[in-house]
Amino acid sequence: MSLPRVTVWNEFRHEKTDPAVQAVYPDGIQVAIAAFLQKAGFPARTATLDEPEHGLTEAVLAETDVLTWWGHMAHGDVKDEIAARVQKRVLEGMGLIVLHSGHMSKPFMRLMGTGCDLKWREAGENERIWVVEPGHPIADGLPEHFDLPHEEMYGERFDIPAPDQLVFISWFKGGDVFRSGCCWTRGAGKIFYFRPGHETFPTYYQSEIQQVIINAAKWAAPGNLPNVTFGQKRIPLEKLD
Amino acid sequence: MSLPRVTVWNEFRHEKTDPAVQAVYPDGIQVAIAAFLQKAGFPARTATLDEPEHGLTEAVLAETDVLTWWGHMAHGDVKDEIAARVQKRVLEGMGLIVLHSGHMSKPFMRLMGTGCDLKWREAGENERIWVVEPGHPIADGLPEHFDLPHEEMYGERFDIPAPDQLVFISWFKGGDVFRSGCCWTRGAGKIFYFRPGHETFPTYYQSEIQQVIINAAKWAAPGNLPNVTFGQKRIPLEKLD
Amino acid sequence: MSLPRVTVWNEFRHEKTDPAVQAVYPDGIQVAIAAFLQKAGFPARTATLDEPEHGLTEAVLAETDVLTWWGHMAHGDVKDEIAARVQKRVLEGMGLIVLHSGHMSKPFMRLMGTGCDLKWREAGENERIWVVEPGHPIADGLPEHFDLPHEEMYGERFDIPAPDQLVFISWFKGGDVFRSGCCWTRGAGKIFYFRPGHETFPTYYQSEIQQVIINAAKWAAPGNLPNVTFGQKRIPLEKLD
Amino acid sequence: MSLPRVTVWNEFRHEKTDPAVQAVYPDGIQVAIAAFLQKAGFPARTATLDEPEHGLTEAVLAETDVLTWWGHMAHGDVKDEIAARVQKRVLEGMGLIVLHSGHMSKPFMRLMGTGCDLKWREAGENERIWVVEPGHPIADGLPEHFDLPHEEMYGERFDIPAPDQLVFISWFKGGDVFRSGCCWTRGAGKIFYFRPGHETFPTYYQSEIQQVIINAAKWAAPGNLPNVTFGQKRIPLEKLD
């Protein structure tokens, strides 16, 4: 099976204005993510908020098997029309990987139907990610737990629909826990939310994090989908009396 | 435990214009549903589309433990603001029972995040509802299957998130199947979708149907909910280094 | 609705031999649990391993709506026949609440089908229980998190089938997390696993713990179950050609 | 990714004694299934009940990524020791595809923990399989529904744990429905139950059926599993006070 075509979307605002972020991701988070995907053999391109149509034209989405989404300070700048377009493509089968602060992005919130809020704290504390579903494809090749030395804390209650599969739970030194790797199917599309990735930490350079995103991109790729029809069916398949 | 306060919402348009519907529900579907709920001891009131704020003011919703929703021809006339208000109340804990053609209503679609479409046929064919989860509270007191002699057909694929619990599956004489009793939790609120209830058939007078809606209203009622907080938590519960 | 009849089962061995356990539960864990259930209005009785048929005769189980199970050092002394009897009754609709080290008990393992193993450490460390599903009846009346000052640690990977509903996740000071409140349905019966309850700590005297077990007993109680039939059905409900 | 190594297990008794079965599967169901798997590129071998250790030695299972299981008249002849061995391997990660009457086989019942019973009728009636989860890998390349002209009927209630994913629902002309494609994870292993396959019908020669089994074998194959550890962890990952 050939690897899915991934479009790596990033808000790409912090990187333009905040030296602390520039120091970690000088070319933007999207470039860091696309780089390790390309190295792993994925046809990966990038798209960002300030491009026309946020870089997510109908043509781009039509050629995208899996979309990754990082956004934070400018969720409100994403046009409703583009958010609806992404939602529609997910329902048609495109995979969606929502990263970190993307939990409050328009496409994710539309697909979840819930508030998607959580607790947070920027103290650079230690995060430990535990694999709770070792047989899941997204846990492939991981250790049973791994640490991120410094991360923003996200804590429960995370206001999401109960995930179809819960793959990871995070432990934080400050006393919090979080469902940090969550899978859902919506329409024909697969969605994975992955917690880590604060913009001031080198999270996307860490090998386990890269492994998770690579696994998730493979898992979320659509196959050869059944042709589902909707609407009125005047003629029944079986004879009525 | 006292019974929850139910608000029975109905679009109440078919009944005003279509003699075939008037013949079955002369006072509207909402009155038929409220009547059997009241008889069962529920404090039940009605609300309809053409009332101010569709009868769903902040005050009414604040006093509603469980909302039932029937709509069909006028989904588009429901104001986005009211649909958002219903969604918000569900996330806060209000139960929601979505009936029949309510599958394409704004509140349900917002909460599901999917297309919610399906196949349909108006041939008055026989529907048989099978209990697949007999231990679920919504199956309480039912036989293992029961028939509706004449109903509109709804067939799979039903474009919903996989239900948290699937209680009923329908068999249709014309050759279709349908997940006809589906439970979800969204935020702190419980949602139940129940398939039957075409406006030209006396479905809501059938005892098993009434039993299901009564069971669902009990199941969907919020309890004494934990006080969940969100947002920044500067001070960790545990000392950081 | 009247409260369900609860049978509180305890291995009742540690309490007979270990002064540290006697100091906390002089009459046995079963008496401590039955006491708060009775105080809350439940008809509750106790049963223990060393009674004839472990106190779980056909007659006792027939009169039991919900069984709670605490066992640890003597799982192997439970007769297979009695474990099978408990399993059968759960499938018929009896609720089962499995406490702490009951995770390796015969009835639980038979019902789960998995290894049910986990990590553990007896260091008396702090456990914090987070509510992750605030709308669930078992979270009724709880705060969004609460602490147990000293408990045995149980850590992931917990080798269970993914719970139908995950209500609680525990944080441990030593760096571990655990799915500490898990719901399943098996047959017509509801099962709840609840993590805390090491025999040397006064866990079952803590008000939040009592609240959880009270909530779970209500949730797990069977209703008026549909009469499900199995086996050959020579005569179809619909005419075949 | 190379294709998983499949062992196709069959009871292989009907074929030896019943001319009606011999006429359809002269070499045994196992040979028919292994043939289309091999044609699709899978390294597939067969194993049958009357071989030593039922053909499922430790060595064979160690080299098996996915096991398919067909049994019916001789479930009781499967040794408990071998059933336990299969269960253990599934928990360690081996995929298991349970076919048709295998619903009452020892390995499946041990893994499910429930009665696994259902309704049945041998009338050669028409079965229609509907895809309800089109995005699932096991639905890959299928039409939205397909028919089996003559099959044994299996009807609900099917006494299984609610599947983690429900992929197919069957409609039967005689008035029954059935959850005919069910996925679970147990331990690190993936399990798929697939309903069709009565021994007197040429079900396993039908292209859609072959497609489903091929898809399921790919889906159920274990990856590079995390090394999960259990038991006492004296030294915490974080310093305790």
B154-209 pLDDT, tens digit each: 999 999 999 999 999 999 999 999 999 999 999 999 999 999 999 999 999 999 99
- CB of A224 within 8 Å of a chain D CB? The answer is yes
- CB of C218 within 8 Å of a chain B CB? The answer is no
Chain-centroid distance of CA A221 in Å reads 13
From the CA of B80, how many Å to the nearest CA of chain A?
14
Chain D partners (3+ C-beta pairs within 8 A): A, B, C
- Yes or no, beta carbons of B120 and A237 under 8 Å apart: no
**Which residues are A113's β-sheet partners?**
none
Query: Model confidence over D61-108: pLDDT tens digits?
Result: 999 999 999 999 999 999 999 999 999 999 999 999 999 999 999 999
For an interface test with B, the pick among C125, C133, C136, C230 (most B C-beta atoms closer than 10 Å) comes out as C136
From the CA of A157, how many Å to the nearest CA of chain C?
5
- CB of A237 within 8 Å of a chain B CB? The answer is yes
From the CA of D152, how many Å to the nearest CA of chain A?
18
Q: Which residues of A touch B229 (CB under 8 A)?
A: 119
- CB of B224 within 8 Å of a chain A CB? The answer is no
- CB of A50 within 8 Å of a chain B CB? The answer is no
- CB of D238 within 8 Å of a chain C CB? The answer is yes
Query: Model confidence over D116-143: pLDDT tens digits?
Result: 999 999 999 999 999 999 999 999 999 9
Q: What ipTM goes with this model?
A: 0.97
Q: SS3 of D87, please?
A: helix
From the CA of A179, how many Å to the nearest CA of chain C?
9
Query: What is the number of CB-based contacts under 8 A between chain B and chain D?
Result: 54
Chain C partners (3+ C-beta pairs within 8 A): A, B, D
- Yes or no, beta carbons of C226 and B144 under 8 Å apart: yes
User: Please, which pLDDT band fits residue A171 given cuts at 50, 70 and 90?
Assistant: very high
From the CA of B200, how many Å to the nearest CA of chain A?
17
- CB of B171 within 8 Å of a chain A CB? The answer is no
Q: Which residues of C touch D187 (CB under 8 A)?
A: 114-115, 159
Which pTM does this prediction carry? 0.98
For an interface test with D, the pick among B171, B178, B183, B195 (most D C-beta atoms closer than 10 Å) comes out as B171
Work out whether strand B66-70 and strand B6-10 pair parallel, antiparallel, or are unpaired: parallel
From the CA of B72, how many Å to the nearest CA of chain A?
14
pLDDT at residue B223 greater than cutoff 70: yes
Q: Which of B142, B165, B223 sits opposite C137 (nearest CB)?
A: B223
Listed in sequence order, the residues at least 6 apart from D9 whose beta carbon sits closer than 8 Å to its beta carbon are: D30, D46, D47, D48, D54, D55, D56, D67, D68, D69, D70, D71
- CB of C133 within 8 Å of a chain B CB? The answer is yes
Instruction: Identify which of C183, C147, C203, C163 has the alpha carbon closest to the alpha carbon of residue C25.
Output: C203
- Yes or no, beta carbons of A169 and C177 under 8 Å apart: yes
**Which residues are A8's β-sheet partners?**
A46, A68
- Yes or no, beta carbons of C121 and D157 under 8 Å apart: no
Listed in sequence order, the residues at least 6 apart from D86 whose beta carbon sits closer than 8 Å to its beta carbon are: D56, D61, D67, D69, D96, D107
- CB of D150 within 8 Å of a chain C CB? The answer is no
Residue C240 pLDDT: 86
Residue A241 pLDDT: 75
From the CA of A237, how many Å to the nearest CA of chain D?
10
Chain-centroid distance of CA A232 in Å reads 35
For residue B39, the tally of other CB atoms under 10 A from its CB is 11
For an interface test with B, the pick among D166, D177, D184 (most B C-beta atoms closer than 10 Å) comes out as D177
Distance (Å, whole) CA D48 – CA D27: 12
Query: Model confidence over B95-138: pLDDT tens digits?
Result: 999 999 999 999 999 999 999 999 999 999 999 999 999 999 99
User: Please, which pLDDT band fits residue C25 given cuts at 50, 70 and 90?
Assistant: very high
Query: Model confidence over A47-61: pLDDT tens digits?
Result: 999 999 999 999 999
Q: Which residues of A touch B237 (CB under 8 A)?
A: 174-176
- Yes or no, beta carbons of A135 and D222 under 8 Å apart: yes
- CB of D92 within 8 Å of a chain A CB? The answer is no
Chain B partners (3+ C-beta pairs within 8 A): A, C, D
Residue B143 pLDDT: 98
For an interface test with B, the pick among D132, D170, D172 (most B C-beta atoms closer than 10 Å) comes out as D132
Distance (Å, whole) CA C148 – CA C153: 11
Q: What mean pLDDT is predicted for residues A62-77?
A: 98
- CB of C221 within 8 Å of a chain A CB? The answer is no
Q: Which residues of D touch C121 (CB under 8 A)?
A: 232-234, 236
Work out whether strand D119-131 and strand D95-99 pair parallel, antiparallel, or are unpaired: unpaired
Exposure string of D96-124, with b = 16+ CB inside 10 Å and e = fewer, is: bbbbbbbbbbbbbbbbbbbbbbbbbbebe
Query: Model confidence over C76-119: pLDDT tens digits?
Result: 999 999 999 999 999 999 999 999 999 999 999 999 999 999 99
